[in-house]
């Protein structure tokens, strides 16, 4: 017993010291998800004296946010803090609603990249659905993995909710809303079978490979599914004497779309794909959401007219190599000497031609960077999608959009309130308001500033402390960081 | 926003639209040119007035409405905008080569208005192009007739409204190599690998299309009285075959050998299809009497030969022989290089067969228009036709002729003197500047097979060898 | 009367002595009279005579005494031109593009400078008559494929053996100068996959070239020394590749350096200077206009073409390829025009015509396909113009041979009066009125239709 008592004493000393330390420090490290062996002592968190951006344009300069069991209990300038709350001192901090990604693969482990020749098929004109990249029946829920690197990487930059979809080609499958938290797939899932995804990526080596075949195949599946739907309802009404309607999961996956119960999220990678997707929408009467819209500045008018919901890409074109080395004032000089009417008459004009081409390229790049601003100006509400974009580049891309004219309010809206609207989540997400889910970003400074560090992210009330990376985050070389790219592309 | 505001905003918008309509419907009068009307001879020192996009008056000292753009064409030549009956420009993709029959796909879905080839062809006097599916398949996809309205961004805005639907067939070496003789990507060969196979693919497609059409006709009769009638399976491919049989789609068939050309006439006759334009048809001259009797048309090269064995026994006199035998013949480009000087290609029929000026020019104007079913709209300078015209500094059949201005529906889209050098619509934000990109030359006919999708050969990458992509 | 018949009669009328036009090409004593002669070297003779004897032009002028035994060709209303020269083709080395067995241009391997194209010239290539009836009498035909694909040869388009066809003994060493990475495709997919380092491939190719050349220079020293005094020395190693390069290093054989892109041309200029090569011609040169001043300064002649091609860059003016050769001449570069064709070399005059229209001018364009290349290749003593003492390579036309409406009516190569015949003309004759000879009717379409 002697040694037990001795150890008992050591333990008590340690506990006493710990308590003292804890009492002294304002931060409660106990609820950190990265230390699951430490028991939780409180389900209530209060962030006190913090700047609260409830929604774009709605700011409480200094107030308190209280949330319990993952639901926001109170938000305001003066709020009673429950006795059992673990309190976070919010001085010099700001709190925002967590970001919502309108379409992504985050949470789905990336399949191994296929190299070499595509696997052979007996008849490439008539491959299996799987081989053709047509898997609309695939459910993302069974593929989710909260320990996948992409989850942490996305969360680290402020995303709390994702609308995620399986990897795939033309029809990758059904999407789900997932929260970037949880110990298992089931705990991530917020809602199911939200939508189905479509993109213009053809099958490798078999039908359909080209965009025109993809469109023809889509129409074919849709129309045949429509026929089967009709047959199925006839059969349900009265099966007597009727041949059993044919069935396969692929065609059946279209029926909710035909009935108007499920939307199609179409991903477009250039201006032409936007028109093509909209043509399909109009032709077949599909309830469609457009995502991506890279180079969508040329289609603003049509998008405005059709009033189709949109989620713009968070990606920007790579900076041209020559521009990377040049200082900003030289770039301004180049733009200054730009003329629309290039005439290169002889070898003597080659120098001037080059400068003009450089200016043209900068102007072209500016169009891409200015696209969200252009949509804002056109009065089109949009969300953002990180589909196909490296997570490590998202924050710096956002800054470029803002430099390109996008207001910070619109940027925030795109990542929060607009995204929630788009996905039908406004009742529970998108703002820092009583009753909503505790999906929050806590920053030391203005969210979109280059220098600002994100201190905490709360997902469903669970706290994640964000350790600051060694360099500024647009050159993040952190090995754990998630290379979110659709490798199939 | 209250109702009053909405109303006044609406009115302003309407006014804007009204004004905009006038702005786009161009009025232009081209004065004092030598007008090569094609169908009504050559008219010296003549004015042509285009109003609302249509040729409204041809004569001398025309009084033009106020605000009409004036163009002095003294000493110059005016001809109708060139119609290219075989092109692959302005497309994001050309060949869906995974199946020998892909009637369900359509070039309409993949039109690319950003393609610089549209402008470059305008600089060569082309105003209408028949941009086509490639020749990898026996029955390829549907083609699209477009107007060269350079500058639009919506693909639908390039459409030649009202142009009949057309479809691409292909016979001979291309489909037999793609599907039968080249077991690529690890997949097995499929029919056809011989010209015999090509015939059977055609016949089975037509027969299945016919039965499909009959099944659906039956169903439509039945369902009128029996609401529980079962509709046949929907098949987009056979829908198109049925449309061909119904006569709603014009067939344009890539073909070379005389025997395969005749084979197709037999198959078409069996299904009651008479409207056919043989494309390339290098050996058509050997069966000119048969083609004339069938009423077939031909759209040929000026002088391409020997790039494949099936064109080894060609002659550059093909166009002249066909024309002299009463066949509606056109000369096409099938190339983003050739389409810039089709007026010169047409001129070759004077060296190879002694055609007259009007005969030569008809091969790039009214004849291709007939083959595309748009002869009421374009192909000659006549009152009522679209204001698609080209001003040349000298007679277009001279090798020294330089196109100076090209108009589509009265709007000027090409001006040799006013246009900047760099006419790109899209500029890559990332590509390195000052790079040599490559050239399309006449040697490109050796890449005629480059029309075929090479996604079998290229590991993990789907690309179409789009030789227009320069 | 149909036009073909008119043409045949017109051709027959040229022979006033009543001699039958037969299919055999014959040398002899010919007098082309009352014609407009475009000499190229000495301007235009409005109304003159060209006297041909054996393989030479023996008299040209307004007052030429015509021997009684001469075959007279009445050139009233017609023109005489020097036979055209295409300075870059694959003619007679290839028959059908897609049939590999018929293509002899590309040998296996990157370093095959000793491959002699003349050996593989097929005097019976179907394309030869098709080409010469357009007035082209002489071409350079080139091997292709690797870095040093072989020796190009200059051939006349008439002869029963390659040796008979060989013109002026001209052989050139072809060097396909390494190319810097070209522009990649597609710009919308940003964040795309890794590409193999393009600069690496270029540097490797350039290193390889320099390695080859270093060894060739060494080989030259060895062989020179050995040849001077072989006594007591071991024989030099057998290196046929080096034997082919050696004359170039000694300046006795012309190097045909194929290069097109601006950056490559600059690199090639540096390389040529570094290697102290003076007997060099550049071929292709599609972006030559960008560095025209440097080409002129270096005094390197350029074989330019094809002219009928799209611009090299999408930002380029639409007519740049047409105007390129004119811009080079304006800057002071000596030029010749090439088509680069294997079977449609007959389009050389049209390439020249477009170049003329877009800045080169008619006179310079004609020179670029006649005396220009003759001078560049050092055979202007025998070729390139209608001058006394030169080879009788010429043609008679009813107009400007660059115009498509012009007909070529007679052709002389090496003094042979080559018939205006080709398989394509034969097919025309046979099929213009295919059923002309038929008396018994036949259903054009099978009975069941």
Is pLDDT above 90 for C183?
Answer: no
Question: Mind listing the pLDDT tens digit for each residue in C39-58?
Answer: 999 999 999 999 999 999 99
Question: Mind listing the pLDDT tens digit for each residue in C117-164?
Answer: 999 999 999 999 999 999 999 999 999 999 999 999 999 999 999 999
CB proximity list for A347: less than 8 A, separation 6 or greater: C289, C290, C291, C292, C293, C327, C331
* A1 part of contact set with chain C, CB < 8 Å: no
Lookup: tokens for C59: 């008299």
CB-CB under 8 Å, B348 with C404:
yes
Given a contact cutoff of 8 angstroms between Cβ atoms, the answer to whether A41 and A30 are in contact is yes
CB-CB under 8 Å, C344 with B350:
no
Question: Mind listing the pLDDT tens digit for each residue in B344-396?
Answer: 999 999 999 999 999 999 999 999 999 999 999 999 999 999 999 999 999 99
Chain C contacts of A320, Cβ < 8 Å? none
Chain A contacts of B228, Cβ < 8 Å? 234, 238, 242
DSSP B401: -
| Of the listed ranges A458-472, B206-220, C241-255, the one predicted with least confidence | A458-472
Instruction: Give the nearest chain B residue to A203 (CA atoms).
Output: B462
CA dihedral B207, B209, B213, B214 (to 10 degrees): 20
**From the list C263, C344, C434, which residue is nearest B288 (CB)?**
C434
CB-CB under 8 Å, C289 with A318:
no
Lookup: tokens for A177: 């809303």
Please count the residue pairs, one from chain B and one from chain C, whose beta carbons lie less than 8 angstroms apart.
203
Question: Mind listing the pLDDT tens digit for each residue in B256-295?
Answer: 999 999 999 999 999 999 999 999 999 999 999 999 999 9
Given a contact cutoff of 8 angstroms between Cβ atoms, the answer to whether C310 and B437 are in contact is no
Half-sphere exposure of C67 (CA within 13 A, CB side): 11
A9-35: average pLDDT: 47
The pLDDT value given to residue C442: 78
Chain A contacts of C188, Cβ < 8 Å? 269-270, 294-295
Residues facing residue B30 across a β-bridge: B48, B71
Determine the distance from the C-alpha atom of residue C293 to the mean position of all C-alpha atoms in its chain, rounded to a whole number: 25
CB-CB under 8 Å, A212 with B105:
yes
The pLDDT value given to residue B84: 98
* B93 part of contact set with chain A, CB < 8 Å: yes
Question: Mind listing the pLDDT tens digit for each residue in A119-131?
Answer: 778 888 899 999 9
Chain A contacts of B141, Cβ < 8 Å? 212
- pLDDT band of residue A31 (cuts 50, 70, 90) is very low
Is pLDDT above 90 for A173?
Answer: yes
Given a contact cutoff of 8 angstroms between Cβ atoms, the answer to whether C394 and C37 are in contact is no
Domain limits, chain B = 82-379+439-459
Residues facing residue C257 across a β-bridge: C175, C282
Preceding amide of A127 cis, omega within 30: no
DSSP B301: -
Is pLDDT above 90 for A326?
Answer: no
**Among the listed residues B83, B257, B290, the one whose alpha carbon sits nearest the alpha carbon of residue B170:** B257
Q: Which of A412-421, A468-477, C9-18 has the highest mean pLDDT?
A: A412-421
Assigned CATH topology for domain A39-97+430-489:
Urease, subunit C; domain 1 (2.30.40)
CATH 3.20.20.140 fits B82-379+439-459, yes or no: yes
Q: B468 to chain C nearest CA, in Å?
A: 10
* Helix/strand/coil for A448: coil
Strands B126-131 and B144-147 turn out to be: antiparallel
CB-CB under 8 Å, C188 with A295:
yes
CB-CB under 8 Å, B433 with A354:
yes
> φ and ψ at C278, to 5 degrees?
-115, -20
- pLDDT band of residue B181 (cuts 50, 70, 90) is confident
> φ and ψ at B347, to 5 degrees?
-60, -25
Is pLDDT above 60 for C97?
Answer: yes
Looking at per-residue confidence, does A246 or C443 come out higher? A246
**Among the listed residues B396, B394, B282, B404, the one whose alpha carbon sits nearest the alpha carbon of residue B342:** B396
Instruction: Give the nearest chain A residue to C192 (CA atoms).
Output: A489
CATH class of A99-113+120-317+379-426: alpha beta
* A315 part of contact set with chain C, CB < 8 Å: yes
Rounded to the nearest integer, the mean pLDDT of chain A is 88
Looking at per-residue confidence, does B424 or B7 come out higher? B424
Continuous segment of H or E residues that includes residue A364: helix A350-369
Nearest-angstrom CA–CA distance, A335 and A358: 8
Instruction: Give the nearest chain C residue to B468 (CA atoms).
Output: C310
Given a contact cutoff of 8 angstroms between Cβ atoms, the answer to whether C409 and C78 are in contact is yes
Residues facing residue C256 across a β-bridge: C174, C281
The pLDDT value given to residue A469: 61
Half-sphere exposure of B315 (CA within 13 A, CB side): 25
Question: Mind listing the pLDDT tens digit for each residue in C287-341?
Answer: 999 999 999 999 999 999 999 999 999 999 999 999 999 999 999 999 999 999 9
Strands C408-413 and C394-397 turn out to be: antiparallel
Lookup: tokens for A435: 């009753």
Q: CB atoms < 10 A from the CB of B467, how many?
A: 19
- pLDDT band of residue C197 (cuts 50, 70, 90) is confident
CB proximity list for B382: less than 8 A, separation 6 or greater: B37, B39, B40, B55, B58
The pLDDT value given to residue A333: 80
**From the list B95, B154, B230, which residue is nearest A231 (CB)?**
B230
Nearest-angstrom CA–CA distance, B105 and C170: 54
What domains sit in chain C, N to C, each tagged with a CATH number? 2-82+418-431 (2.30.40), 84-379 (3.20.20.140)
CA dist list (Å): A245 to A134, A223, A231, A285: 21, 15, 6, 24
Rounded to the nearest integer, the mean pLDDT of chain C is 92
ipTM of the predicted structure?
0.92
CB-CB under 8 Å, B434 with A118:
no
**Among the listed residues C267, C205, A356, C185, the one whose alpha carbon sits nearest the alpha carbon of residue B438:** C185
Which chains have at least 3 CB atom pairs separated by less than 8 Å from chain A?
B, C
CA dist list (Å): B323 to A335, B81, B253: 56, 21, 19
Nearest-angstrom CA–CA distance, C131 and C424: 11
With a CB-CB cutoff of 8 Å, which residues 237-276 of chain C face chain B?
260-264
Nearest-angstrom CA–CA distance, C435 and C424: 18
CB-CB under 8 Å, C314 with B470:
yes
Which chains have at least 3 CB atom pairs separated by less than 8 Å from chain C?
A, B
Is pLDDT above 50 for C368?
Answer: yes
- pLDDT band of residue A102 (cuts 50, 70, 90) is very high
Half-sphere exposure of B398 (CA within 13 A, CB side): 15
- Entry pTM: 0.91
Question: Mind listing the pLDDT tens digit for each residue in A362-409?
Answer: 999 999 999 999 999 999 999 999 999 999 999 999 999 999 999 999
């Amino acid at each position: 017993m002697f040694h037990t008592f001795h150890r008992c004493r050591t333990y008590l000393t340690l506990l006493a010291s710990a308590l003292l330390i804890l009492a002294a420090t304002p931060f409660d490290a106990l609820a950190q998800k990265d230390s699951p062996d430490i028991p939780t002592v409180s389900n209530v968190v209060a962030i006190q004296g913090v700047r609260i951006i409830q929604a774009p344009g709605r700011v409480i300069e200094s107030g308190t946010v209280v949330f319990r069991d993952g639901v926001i209990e109170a938000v305001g300038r003066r709020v009673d803090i429950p006795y059992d709350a673990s309190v976070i001192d919010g001085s010099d901090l700001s709190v925002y609603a967590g970001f919502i990604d309108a379409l992504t693969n985050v949470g789905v482990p990336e399949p191994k990249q296929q190299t070499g020749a595509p696997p052979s098929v007996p008849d490439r004109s008539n491959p299996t659905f799987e081989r053709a990249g047509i898997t609309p029946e695939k459910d993302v829920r069974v593929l989710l993995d909260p320990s996948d690197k992409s989850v942490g990487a996305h969360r680290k930059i402020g995303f709390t909710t994702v609308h995620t979809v399986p990897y795939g080609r033309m029809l990758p499958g059904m999407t789900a809303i997932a929260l970037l938290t949880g110990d298992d797939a089931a705990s991530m899932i917020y809602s199911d079978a939200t939508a189905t995804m479509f993109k213009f990526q053809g099958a490798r080596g078999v039908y359909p490979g080209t965009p025109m075949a993809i469109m023809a195949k889509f129409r074919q599946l849709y129309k045949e599914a429509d026929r089967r739907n009709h047959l199925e309802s006839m059969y349900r009404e009265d099966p007597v004497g009727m041949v059993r309607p044919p069935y396969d999961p692929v065609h059946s996956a279209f029926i909710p779309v035909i009935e108007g119960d499920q939307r199609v999220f179409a991903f477009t990678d250039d201006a032409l794909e936007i028109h093509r997707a909209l043509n399909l929408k109009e032709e077949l009467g599909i309830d469609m959401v457009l995502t991506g819209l890279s180079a969508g500045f040329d289609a603003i008018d049509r998008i405005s007219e059709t009033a189709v919901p949109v989620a713009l890409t968070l990606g920007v074109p790579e900076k041209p190599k020559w521009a990377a080395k040049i200082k900003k004032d030289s770039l301004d000089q180049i733009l200054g000497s730009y003329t629309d009417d290039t005439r290169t008459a002889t070898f003597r004009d080659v120098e001037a031609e080059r400068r003009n081409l450089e200016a043209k390229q900068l102007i072209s790049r500016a169009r891409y960077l200015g696209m969200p601003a252009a949509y804002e100006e056109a009065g089109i509400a949009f969300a953002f999608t990180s589909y196909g974009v490296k997570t490590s580049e998202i924050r710096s891309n956002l800054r470029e959009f803002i430099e390109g004219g996008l207001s910070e309010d619109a940027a925030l809206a795109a990542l929060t309130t607009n995204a929630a609207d788009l996905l039908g989540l406004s009742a529970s997400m998108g703002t820092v308001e009583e009753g909503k889910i505790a999906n929050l970003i806590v920053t030391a400074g203005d969210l979109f500033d280059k220098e600002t560090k994100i201190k905490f992210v709360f997902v469903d009330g669970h706290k994640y402390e964000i350790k600051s990376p060694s360099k500024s985050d647009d050159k993040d070389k952190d090995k754990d960081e998630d290379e979110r790219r659709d490798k199939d592309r | 926003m209250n109702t009053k505001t909405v109303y006044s905003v609406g009115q302003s918008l309407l006014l804007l639209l009204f004004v905009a309509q006038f702005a786009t419907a161009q009025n232009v009068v081209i004065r004092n040119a030598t007008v090569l009307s094609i169908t009504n001879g050559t008219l010296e020192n003549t004015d042509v007035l285009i109003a609302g996009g249509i040729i409204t008056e041809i004569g001398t000292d025309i009084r033009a409405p106020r605000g009409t753009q004036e163009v002095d064409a003294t000493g110059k030549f005016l001809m109708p905008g060139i119609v290219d009956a075989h092109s692959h420009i302005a497309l994001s993709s050309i060949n869906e080569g995974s199946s020998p029959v892909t009637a369900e796909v359509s070039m309409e879905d993949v039109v690319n208005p950003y393609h610089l080839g549209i402008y470059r062809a305008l600089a060569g006097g082309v105003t209408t192009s028949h941009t086509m599916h490639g020749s990898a398949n026996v029955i390829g996809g549907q083609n699209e007739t477009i107007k060269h309205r350079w500058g639009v961004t919506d693909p639908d805005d390039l459409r030649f409204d009202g142009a009949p639907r057309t479809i691409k067939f292909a016979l001979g070496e291309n489909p037999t190599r793609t599907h039968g003789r080249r077991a690529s990507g690890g997949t097995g060969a499929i029919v056809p690998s011989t010209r015999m196979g090509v015939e059977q693919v055609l016949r089975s497609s037509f027969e299945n299309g016919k039965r499909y059409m009959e099944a659906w006709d039956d169903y439509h009769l039945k369902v009128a009285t029996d609401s529980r009638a079962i509709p046949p399976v929907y098949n987009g491919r056979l829908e198109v075959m049925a449309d061909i049989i119904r006569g709603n789609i014009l067939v344009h068939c890539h073909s070379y050998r005389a025997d395969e050309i005749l084979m197709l006439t037999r198959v078409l006759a069996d299904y009651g299809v008479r409207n056919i334009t043989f494309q390339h048809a290098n050996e058509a001259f050997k069966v000119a009497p048969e083609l004339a009797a069938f009423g077939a048309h031909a759209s040929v090269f000026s002088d391409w030969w020997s790039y494949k064995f099936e064109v080894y026994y060609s002659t550059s006199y093909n166009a002249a022989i066909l024309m002299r035998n009463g066949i509606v013949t056109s000369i096409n480009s099938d190339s983003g290089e050739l389409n810039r000087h089709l007026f010169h290609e047409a001129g070759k029929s004077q060296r190879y067969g002694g055609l007259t000026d009007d005969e030569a020019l008809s091969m790039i104007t009214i004849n291709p228009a007939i083959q595309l079913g748009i002869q009421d709209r374009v192909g000659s300078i006549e009152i009522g036709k679209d204001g698609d015209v080209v001003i040349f500094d000298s007679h277009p059949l001279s090798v020294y002729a330089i196109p100076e201005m090209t108009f589509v529906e009265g709007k000027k889209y090409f001006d040799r003197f006013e246009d900047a050098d760099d006419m790109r619509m899209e500029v890559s934000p990332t590509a390195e500047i000052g790079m040599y990109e490559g050239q399309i030359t006449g040697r490109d006919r050796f890449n005629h097979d480059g029309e075929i999708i090479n996604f079998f050969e290229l590991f993990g990458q789907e690309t179409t060898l789009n030789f227009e992509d320069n | 009367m149909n036009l073909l018949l008119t043409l045949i009669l017109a051709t027959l009328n040229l022979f006033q002595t009543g001699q039958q036009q037969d299919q055999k090409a014959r040398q002899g004593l010919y007098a082309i009279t009352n014609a407009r002669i475009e000499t190229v070297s000495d301007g235009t003779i409005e109304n003159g005579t060209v006297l041909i004897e054996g393989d030479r032009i023996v008299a040209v002028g307004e007052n030429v005494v015509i021997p009684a035994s001469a075959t007279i060709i009445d050139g009233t209303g017609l023109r005489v031109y020097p036979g055209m020269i295409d300075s870059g083709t694959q003619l007679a080395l290839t028959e059908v593009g897609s049939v590999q067995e018929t293509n002899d241009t590309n040998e296996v391997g990157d370093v095959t400078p000793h491959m002699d194209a003349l050996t593989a010239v097929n005097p019976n290539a179907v394309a030869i008559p098709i080409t010469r009836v357009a007035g082209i009498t002489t071409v350079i035909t080139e091997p292709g494929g690797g870095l040093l694909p072989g020796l190009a040869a200059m051939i006349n388009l008439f002869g029963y053996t390659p040796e008979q066809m060989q013109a002026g003994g001209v052989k050139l060493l072809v060097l396909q100068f390494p190319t810097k990475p070209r522009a990649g495709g597609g710009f919308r997919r940003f964040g795309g996959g890794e590409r193999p380092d393009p600069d690496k491939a270029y540097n490797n190719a350039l290193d390889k070239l320099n390695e080859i050349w270093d060894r060739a220079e060494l080989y030259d020293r060895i062989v020179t020394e050995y040849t001077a005094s072989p006594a007591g020395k071991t024989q030099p190693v057998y290196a046929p590749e080096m034997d082919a390069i050696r004359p170039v290093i000694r300046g006795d054989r012309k190097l045909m350096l194929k290069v097109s892109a601006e950056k490559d041309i600059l690199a090639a200029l540096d390389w040529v200077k570094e290697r102290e090569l003076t007997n060099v011609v550049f071929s292709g040169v599609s972006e030559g206009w960008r560095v025209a001043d440097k080409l002129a300064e270096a005094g390197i002649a350029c074989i330019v073409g094809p002219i009928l091609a799209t611009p090299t860059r999408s930002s380029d003016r639409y007519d740049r390829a047409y105007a390129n050769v004119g811009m080079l001449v304006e800057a002071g570069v000596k030029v010749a025009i090439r088509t680069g064709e294997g079977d449609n070399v007959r389009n050389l005059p049209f390439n020249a015509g477009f170049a003329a229209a877009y800045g080169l001018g008619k006179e310079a364009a004609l020179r670029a396909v006649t005396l220009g290349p003759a001078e560049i290749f050092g055979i202007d003593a025998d070729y390139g113009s209608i001058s006394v003492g030169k080879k009788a390579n010429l043609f008679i036309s009813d107009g400007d041979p660059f115009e498509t409406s012009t007909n070529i009516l007679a052709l002389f190569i090496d003094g042979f009066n080559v018939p205006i015949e080709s398989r394509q003309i034969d097919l025309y004759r046979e099929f213009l009125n295919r059923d002309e000879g038929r008396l018994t009717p036949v259903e054009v379409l099978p009975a069941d239709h």
